[in-house]
């Protein structure tokens, strides 16, 4: 008999596919009882395409406001400003469209509204604190009950998790906030609205989805249901990403990527922890401003090599699922990254050795680092991985 586990069905109620985004959004706002929708959108998507305007038009008078000023990595000050704007507009439902920044922003705005957060400092008592020894403090808070809907335009998968990363710009550190009801009630997957996503962002967040599946499959606490979905994701994503690279207008390939991304994230409902690729990647995002898709491109192969002495059997499942059973998982992943023309070294994204010490220290305050299959005992072990990735 396998060890005990829990698969917790989340507050996420439905995932919609096969319906145009605007049509699906209008119907879902009505189903959830929303009468005053506040939209959080990507600035580029809002100002350089018609996608956001199409959504506003579909909502009609139900749309009471829009914020397109939240930059990458979801800074705390901008989250609070967006929450104050949504409160002033009388919002009763939050709609987000974009990548992980907007997905996390939607969760954070819900948290702010539920807990009367109006100032930067008001979020401090609500953040999850990870101590350097891996112990954590998760504070009590009012449940963020306001419904929300997310329309993803990348493959980061943040909409399928109940936690959010929010950067403290005063410390250059990404901090975690978590509550079961932070997750959206509905996710709408429409490949047509992803055609405007820059190629590097789409493909690199696709590797982020691969990273979700790989670290879930290789986790210290795997679950049989998430294992099966991770393997499905790893069978689907490599070919679909290559098809997207070959033809940006291949909507079938984009949809396959979305399904692979969704499958890769189901480990979150079984509380299957990630490892150091995600943990160090969180810090590279908050501290060094590296986009999360690129952190996976750079870190995942090296973390697999670092971990191979303790989970070679699990890594063999990765190789098999990705179609190269005779090759090390690290090399299979690295070959895919190279094939997609994505960066594979820290120096390729402007991270210098001068940054390593603070990255290593901050990484010890990330839960995923402490859940890495090969134990990370302190900053020196993180430095070892950073040197491998340099």
Phi then psi for 271, rounded to 5 degrees? 55, 40
Check residue 1 and give its pLDDT: 40
As a whole number, mean pLDDT of residues 319-347 equals 97
**What is the per-residue pLDDT for 6?**
81
Asked if residue 106 has pLDDT above 50, the reply is yes
What gap in Å lies between CA 307 and CA 317, rounded to an integer? 14
Joined together, the tokens standing for residue 363 give 């990484």
C-alpha to C-alpha distance for 212 and 272, rounded to whole angstroms: 10
Whole-number Å distance between alpha carbons of 262 and 153 = 13
Angle between helix axes 224-246 and 329-339 (nearest 10 degrees) is 30
| Stronger pLDDT, 240 or 268, i.e. the higher one | 240
Percent of the chain residues topping a pLDDT of 70: 99
Q: How far apart are the first and last CA of the chain?
A: 42
Structure tokens at 79: 């989250």
Structure confidence at residue 2 as a pLDDT band (50, 70, 90): low
pLDDT tens, position by position, 335-365? 999 999 999 999 999 999 999 999 999 999 9
- Of the candidates 218, 213, 215, the one whose C-alpha atom is nearest the C-alpha of residue 236 is 213
> CA 311 → CA 122, 143, 217, 236, 316, distances in Å?
42, 38, 10, 23, 9
What does the pLDDT average to over 116-124? 97
Q: Would you say 217 and 272 are in contact if contact means Cβ atoms under 8 Å apart?
A: no
Q: What architecture (CATH level 2) is domain 14-192?
A: 3-Layer(aba) Sandwich (3.40)
Instruction: With a cut of 90, say whether residue 125 has pLDDT above it.
Output: yes
Q: What are 268-308's pLDDT values in tens digits?
A: 888 899 999 999 999 998 888 899 899 999 999 999 999 99
How far apart (Å, rounded) are the C-alpha atoms in residues 388 and 122?
A: 39
Q: Is 315 helix (H, G, I), strand (E, B) or coil?
A: helix
Mean pLDDT, rounded, for 102-123: 98
pLDDT (tens digit per residue) in 374-386: 999 999 999 999 9
Give the containing element (helix H, strand E) for 68: none
Kindly report the average pLDDT of the chain as a whole number.
Answer: 95
Q: What is the mean pLDDT of residues 113-133?
A: 96
Q: Picking from 2-11, 147-156, 198-207, 240-249, which range would have the lowest pLDDT averaged per residue?
A: 2-11
- For the segment 99-120, the average pLDDT, to the nearest whole number, is 97
Dist. CA 152–CA 21, nearest whole Å: 10
Q: What is the DSSP letter of 171?
A: T
Would residue 128 be called left, alpha or beta, if left means φ above 0 and alpha means ψ between -120 and 50 degrees? beta
Contacts with 191 (C-beta within 8 Å, 6 or more apart), sequence order? 251, 252, 254, 255, 257, 258
pLDDT tens, residue by residue, 67-82: 999 999 999 999 999 9
Q: Distance between CA atoms of 334 and 297, rounded to whole angstroms?
A: 8
CA distance 304 to 306: 5
- In this structure, of 33-37, 194-198, 266-270, 359-363, the range with the lowest mean pLDDT score is 266-270
Query: What are the φ/ψ torsions at residue 168 (nearest 5 degrees)?
Result: -90, 105
Spans of all domains in the chain: 14-192, 199-389
Specify the CATH superfamily of domain 199-389: Dehydroquinate synthase-like - alpha domain (1.20.1090.10)
Q: Give the global pTM.
A: 0.95
14-192 and 199-389 share one fold: no
């Amino acid at each position: 008999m396998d060890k005990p586990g829990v698969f917790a069905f989340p507050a996420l109620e439905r995932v919609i596919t096969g319906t145009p985004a605007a049509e699906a959004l209008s119907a879902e706002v009505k189903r959830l009882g929303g009468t005053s929708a506040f939209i959080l959108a990507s600035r580029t998507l809002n100002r350089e395409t018609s996608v956001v305007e199409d959504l506003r038009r579909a909502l009609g008078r139900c749309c009471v406001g829009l914020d397109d000023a939240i930059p990458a990595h979801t800074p705390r000050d901008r989250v609070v400003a967006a929450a104050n704007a949504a409160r002033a507009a009388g919002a009763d439902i939050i709609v987000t469209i974009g990548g992980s920044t907007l997905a996390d922003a939607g969760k954070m705005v819900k948290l702010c509204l539920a807990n009367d957060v109006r100032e930067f400092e008001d979020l401090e008592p609500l953040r999850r604190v990870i101590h350097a020894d891996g112990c954590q403090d998760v504070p009590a808070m009012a449940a963020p009950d306001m419904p929300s809907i997310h329309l993803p335009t990348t493959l980061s998968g943040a909409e399928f998790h109940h936690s959010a990363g929010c950067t403290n710009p005063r410390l250059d550190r990404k901090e975690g906030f978590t509550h079961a009801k932070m997750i959206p009630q509905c996710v709408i997957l429409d490949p047509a609205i992803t055609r405007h996503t820059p190629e590097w962002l789409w493909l690199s967040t696709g590797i982020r989805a691969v990273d979700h599946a790989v670290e879930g499959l290789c986790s210290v606490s795997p679950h049989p249901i998430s294992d099966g979905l991770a393997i499905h994701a790893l069978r689907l994503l490599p070919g679909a990403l290559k098809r997207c690279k070959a033809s940006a207008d291949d909507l079938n390939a984009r949809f396959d990527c979305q399904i692979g991304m969704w499958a890769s994230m189901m480990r979150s409902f079984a509380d299957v922890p990630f490892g150091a690729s995600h943990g160090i990647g969180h810090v590279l995002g908050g501290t060094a401003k590296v986009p999360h898709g690129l952190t996976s491109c750079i870190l995942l192969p090296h973390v697999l090599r670092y971990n191979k002495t303790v989970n070679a059997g699990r890594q063999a499942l990765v190789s098999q699922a990705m179609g190269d059973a005779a090759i090390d998982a690290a090399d299979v992943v690295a070959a895919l990254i190279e094939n997609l023309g994505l960066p594979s070294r820290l120096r390729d994204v402007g991270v210098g050795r001068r940054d390593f010490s603070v990255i290593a220290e901050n990484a010890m305050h990330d839960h995923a680092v402490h859940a890495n299959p090969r134990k990370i005992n302190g900053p020196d072990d993180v430095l070892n991985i950073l040197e491998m990735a340099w």
